[in-house]
Amino acid sequence: MKEFLLLAKRFISPYKKYLILNILFNILSAFLTLFSFAIIIPILEMLFRISQAHYEFMAWGTGDLKDVVVNNFYYYTQEIIADHGQSVALAALAALLVFMTLLKTGTAYLSAYYSIPMRTGVVRDIRNLIYDKVVSLPIGFFTNERKGDVMARISGDVTEVENSITSSINMLFKNPIMIIVCLVTMVLVSWQLTVFVLILLPLAGMLMGKVGKNLKRASLEGQTQWGVLLSNIEETLGGLRIIKAFNAEGKVSGRFKKENERFVRISNRMNRRYELAHPMSELLGTLTIAIVLWFGGTLILTGDSSISAASFIYYMVIFYSIINPAKDLSKAVYSIQRGMASMERIDKILKADNPIKDPSSPRPLPRDGKPSIRYDNVSFRYAQNWVLRNVSLDIPFGSTVALVGQSGSGKSTMADLLPRFYDVNEGAITIDGIDIRQLRVHDLRSLMGNVNQEAILFNDSFYNNITFGVHNATMEQVEQAARVANAYDFIMETEEGFNTNIGDRGCRLSGGQRQRISIARAILKNPPILILDEATSALDTESEHLVQEALDRLMKDRTTLVIAHRLSTIRNADLICVLHEGRIVERGTHDELIALGGQYKHLVDMQKF
Ligand code: ADP
Ligand code: MG
């Protein structure tokens, strides 16, 4: 419960207004319930001809308010009976009952009405928070946490929180109010009976609680399994091409069905337990009522009680209207347990530590816009093994430095350190002599443009994909960037030109076209530093030519770190570094390295056949 209050404090505070309205209407509704049921007493008394007393009108404001209200109510009833007969009086009382019930249900509806924006709002806030957190967390976080699992947390767990916790909010405020109001009334009507009830109720409650003990655990298990299923689906969607090519439909399908079956088994267990709560509490509730009925009835029949038969029935009605809120309350508490399990999983993301932080007093970017880069004795590891070891490298402004080496030698890692996708473990990377960790991350990345092997595009128009990194580009600038990137012609050939949607991740384009769009994007951003990681590796020779041409224009007057698989593309670099197992083993120009006759020459020879 303490956890829940903390949670409420965290998320409900923006919705105080709704909360107050909700509580207000709940209180109103609880009192109206009492009054509407109270009308039953005179009706019963009349039917059974119990009361023979005569009532005189009492002036408002004299004596106890409750006594005056009750007295005058009876007085008016008596007047109606005298003037119009009992049948009309009965009809009037029934009409009053309907009217009071209308008010009661109306206020109950209003309280629910105001709880809804609170509920949807909290869920929206949680979803936004997770999304922002996912975007801000470093790339490294998502290799540890599986993507499907993150998706399960965003979708499944948030929905679970919505269904269990937030939908219980109304119940949680409504029911205690209702219960307290009813209990107080019960004490006023007959304290002897109420003491008896107060002994019975907790016993019933304890029995009910037993049913739901394992639910939180089962729920946690269920959500985890849901994550497994989602990972599975996401992997399948990504690998559909290979699955088909290898005729592996049956295999993946079998695997999916097995996991799905497991999920079903957990769900069955969880839901059966959940469903058990209702009949159990109904039975226990009736049992309690039966006992109270017997006890109270005996009191009345033996004639030594302070309670009249009509009041006793009123008492039973009030008591009966406690059973439901009590049931709901236990269900809500129980639901919240389930939701807290999901909230725990969500908090794993929300409270994850982000190691790539802005410094407390960031240094401004160097003014001249002509940055030079230095890797100073840099060492780095993802986990246990060092991936880069004592790497030092100078990249003066305007020069092109190429990294070559076998796959897995650490080239991409070296490039990823520059925009601080990861932080170095030892040594430092500086820009114009300033350690990049002393710059604001946003400032640092504004200096850089990336073109990678897989062009990363978004399901949007050409225009929006090209202007992705800039705020206020004119159409001329965008067209110009597309021209420089050799993308203008094929864009204009599409139906709606720059407004054409390129499909999910650019699936309606060829590899070379996608790459030229990502180059246009980098051109428009116009960064002084450029990182090209195997930008042409995935392309055929024809489109490689077009892309290379675009790249050559892009690289002009910039500091470029280029990683290339095809050595033909880096022949003209100012400096070529050969990486081997995380160390720079050779460096020089193309001609120097060929003359050296070492690893570089070996790599070139291998590509020459
Ligand atoms: P290259 O780009 O030269 O092919 P990488 O820099 O991608 O090489 O990888 C260098 C080494 O680091 C490889 O041994 C690879 O297995 C490892 N590695 C790459 N990325 C990660 C990662 N996110 N987590 C753990 N190890 C990684
Ligand atoms: Mg690589």
In a domain, 170, yes or no: yes
- Cα–Cα dist 605/150, whole Å: 45
In a domain, 358, yes or no: no
Instruction: Say yes or no: CB of residue 410 within 6 Å of ligand 1.
Output: yes
Same domain assignment for residues 202 and 333: yes
How many angstroms separate the alpha carbon of residue 450 from the centre of ligand 2?
13
Q: What are phi and psi of 382, to 5 degrees?
A: -80, -50
Q: Is the pLDDT of residue 427 over 90?
A: yes
In a domain, 357, yes or no: no
Instruction: Say yes or no: CB of residue 288 within 6 Å of ligand 1.
Output: no
How many angstroms separate the alpha carbon of residue 554 from the centre of ligand 1?
27
Same domain assignment for residues 388 and 274: no
Q: Which domain holds residue 499?
A: 373-608
Q: Is the pLDDT of residue 211 over 80?
A: no
Element (H, E) at 130: helix 86-136
Q: What is the mean pLDDT of residues 230-247?
A: 83
User: Which amino acid makes up residue 445?
Assistant: R
| CB contact set of 41 (below 8 Å; sequence gap of 6+) | 310, 311, 313, 314
- Cα–Cα dist 258/263, whole Å: 9
Same domain assignment for residues 321 and 419: no
- 239-295 pLDDT per residue, tens: 888 888 888 889 999 999 999 999 999 889 888 877 776 677 778 778 888 888 888
Same domain assignment for residues 407 and 335: no
CATH code: domain of residue 216 = 1.20.1560.10
In a domain, 294, yes or no: yes
Same domain assignment for residues 312 and 421: no
How many angstroms separate the alpha carbon of residue 529 from the centre of ligand 2?
19
Ligand 1 atom 7: residue of nearest CA: 412
Instruction: Say yes or no: CB of residue 518 within 6 Å of ligand 1.
Output: no
Q: What is the mean pLDDT of residues 70-90?
A: 84
Same domain assignment for residues 106 and 172: yes
- 563-573 pLDDT per residue, tens: 987 777 788 89
Distance of CA 600 to the CA centre of its chain: 50
Cα-based angle 172, 177, 181 (whole degrees, multiple of 5): 155
Same domain assignment for residues 443 and 522: yes
In a domain, 196, yes or no: yes
In a domain, 225, yes or no: yes
Same domain assignment for residues 405 and 282: no
Q: Which two tokens stand for residue 3?
A: 């956890």
Best CA proximity match to 322, nearest among 165, 200, 206, 213: 200
Same domain assignment for residues 285 and 184: yes
User: Which amino acid makes up residue 139?
Assistant: I
**pTM score, two decimals?**
0.76
What interhelical angle do 309-350 and 215-238 show, nearest 10? 40
CATH code: domain of residue 412 = 3.40.50.300
Same domain assignment for residues 343 and 462: no
Please give the pLDDT value at position 375. Answer: 96
Q: What is the DSSP string of 97-122?
A: HHHHHHHHHHHHHHHHHHHHHHHHHH
Pairing assessment for the beta strands 373-381 and 426-431 based on DSSP bridges: antiparallel
pLDDT band per the 50, 70, 90 thresholds, residue 147 = confident
In a domain, 355, yes or no: no
Instruction: From the CA of 143, give the closest atom in ligand 1.
Output: 23
Per the structure, how many domains does the chain have? 2
Q: Which two tokens stand for residue 520?
A: 């246009």
Mean pLDDT (the chain, rounded): 85
In a domain, 529, yes or no: yes
Q: Is the pLDDT of residue 582 over 90?
A: yes
Same domain assignment for residues 271 and 419: no
Instruction: From the CA of 534, give the closest atom in ligand 1.
Output: 2
Best CA proximity match to 171, nearest among 374, 335, 34: 335
How many angstroms separate the alpha carbon of residue 340 from the centre of ligand 1?
37
